[in-house]
Amino acid sequence: MYKGGKIIASLVIFVALLSLPFFYNRGKANKGPEINLNTPAILQLADKQCVEPTEWMRANHMQLLLRWRDEAVRMGKTEYINSQGKSFKISLQTCLNCHSDPALNTSDQFCVSCHNYTAVKPNCWSCHTWPQEAAK
């Protein structure tokens, strides 16, 4: 091998350049989207709890919405009883009552910011219309 030193040096430089982004980001945690929880509806609540506990909702909200869809559209059920025994109306508006703010651009909050962060495209708005306050 006449050029073995050059080949090895080139490989070392190549691996160093390839691994640079990994070393640059080492130890940095990705915080995720920042969501404003100070909507007027949430601030007025005495008990600031969602339909289900927060951690459960973060992990399972889509399954809950699909369940609500099936129960409302296919079975005609209009009431949801949560794990604590509290009753809620089965409607997307139940969510948007707290998770939107007419004074702010709603599309930058809750649904859109988290779904953009996770690269998920929900199909809710193919049937539902976005609230009118968000369009203003």
Cα 100–31–24 angle (5° rounding)? Answer: 145
Number of domains within the chain:
1
Does 118 map to a domain? Answer: yes
Q: Is residue 48 part of a domain?
A: yes
Please report the pLDDT score of residue 106 as a whole number. Answer: 52
Domain with 98, as residue range(s), is 34-135
127 occurs within a structural domain: yes
Sequence-ordered strand ranges (E) for 24-133 = 79-81, 87-89
* In contact, 98 and 41? CB cutoff 8 Å: yes
DSSP labels, 24-55: HTTT------------HHHHH-SS---SS-HH
Q: What is the model's pLDDT at position 130?
A: 62
Per-residue pLDDT of the chain (136 residues), as tens digits, is 678 888 999 999 999 999 998 888 887 777 777 777 777 778 888 877 889 998 898 889 889 999 999 999 899 999 999 998 999 999 888 888 888 766 665 545 677 778 888 888 877 777 777 655 444 4
Q: How far apart are CA 102 and CA 131, in angstroms?
A: 9
Report the pLDDT value the prediction gives residue 99, as an integer from 0 to 100. 80
Assigned domain for 105 exists: yes
In a domain, 59, yes or no: yes
Does the residue 1 lie in any domain? no
